Amino acid sequence: MTNNINIRTKARTEFIDITSEIEKLLDESGIKSGICFLYVPHTTAGITINEGADPSVVSDIQRTLSKLIPNNLNYSHMEGNSDAHIKSTVVGASKTVIIDDGKLLLGTWQSIFFCEFDGPRHRRVLVKLINDGV
Amino acid sequence: MTNNINIRTKARTEFIDITSEIEKLLDESGIKSGICFLYVPHTTAGITINEGADPSVVSDIQRTLSKLIPNNLNYSHMEGNSDAHIKSTVVGASKTVIIDDGKLLLGTWQSIFFCEFDGPRHRRVLVKLINDGV
Amino acid sequence: MTNNINIRTKARTEFIDITSEIEKLLDESGIKSGICFLYVPHTTAGITINEGADPSVVSDIQRTLSKLIPNNLNYSHMEGNSDAHIKSTVVGASKTVIIDDGKLLLGTWQSIFFCEFDGPRHRRVLVKLINDGV
Q: Which residue of chain C is at minimal alpha-carbon distance from B35? A: C35
Instruction: Say yes or no for a CB contact (<8 Å) between A110 and C41.
Output: yes
Give yes or no for a cis peptide into C55 (omega within 30° of 0): no
Q: Give the distance from residue B110's alpha carbon to the nearest chain C alpha carbon, in angstroms.
A: 20
Cα–Cα distance measured from residue C45 to residue C15, given in angstroms and rounded to the nearest whole number: 10
Find the closest chain C residue to B125 by CA distance.
Answer: C107
Segment A120-132, tens digit of pLDDT: 999 999 999 999 9
Answer whether A89 touches C (CB < 8 Å): no
Q: What is the DSSP letter of B13?
A: S
Best CA proximity match to A107, nearest among C37, C44, C77: C44
Question: Going residue by residue through chain C (134 aa), what tens digit of pLDDT does each one get?
Answer: 899 999 999 999 999 999 999 999 999 999 999 999 999 999 999 999 999 999 999 999 999 999 999 998 889 988 999 999 999 999 999 999 999 999 999 999 999 999 999 999 999 999 999 999 75
Among A90, A96, A126, select the one facing B105 at the smallest CB separation: A126
**CB of C95 less than 8 A from some CB of B:** yes
C59 CB neighbours in chain B (<8 A) are 76
CA separation, residue C28 to residues A75, C21, C24, C128 (Å)? 51, 11, 6, 13
CB B16 within 8 A of CB B116: yes
- Looking at the whole model, is its pTM more than 0.80? yes
pLDDT tens by residue, A3-38: 999 999 999 999 999 999 999 999 999 999 999 999
* B-interface mutation test, from C51, C94, C115, most B Cβ less than 10 A away: C51
- ipTM rounded to 2 decimals: 0.97
Q: How many domains does chain A have?
A: 1
**Residue numbers of the domain that contains A45:** 2-131
Predicted local distance difference test score (pLDDT) of residue C78: 86
Residue in C91, C107, C132 closest to B42 by CB: C107
Checking if the pLDDT of A134 tops 60, the result is no
C-contacting chains (≥3 CB pairs under 8 Å): A, B
pLDDT at A60: 97
Low-confidence stretches of chain B (pLDDT < 70) are 134
Interface touch C65/B86, C-beta < 8 Å: yes
Supply the CATH number for residue B90's domain. Answer: 2.60.120.460
| Residue B94 touches partner C, C-beta closer than 8 Å | yes
Distance CA(C102)–CA(C100), nearest Å, equals: 5
Whether A1 shows a pLDDT value over 90: the answer reads: no
Chain C nearest-CA distance from A97, in A, is 7
**Integer Cα distance of B131 and B29 in angstroms:** 9
Q: What is the number of CB-based contacts under 8 A between chain B and chain C? A: 85
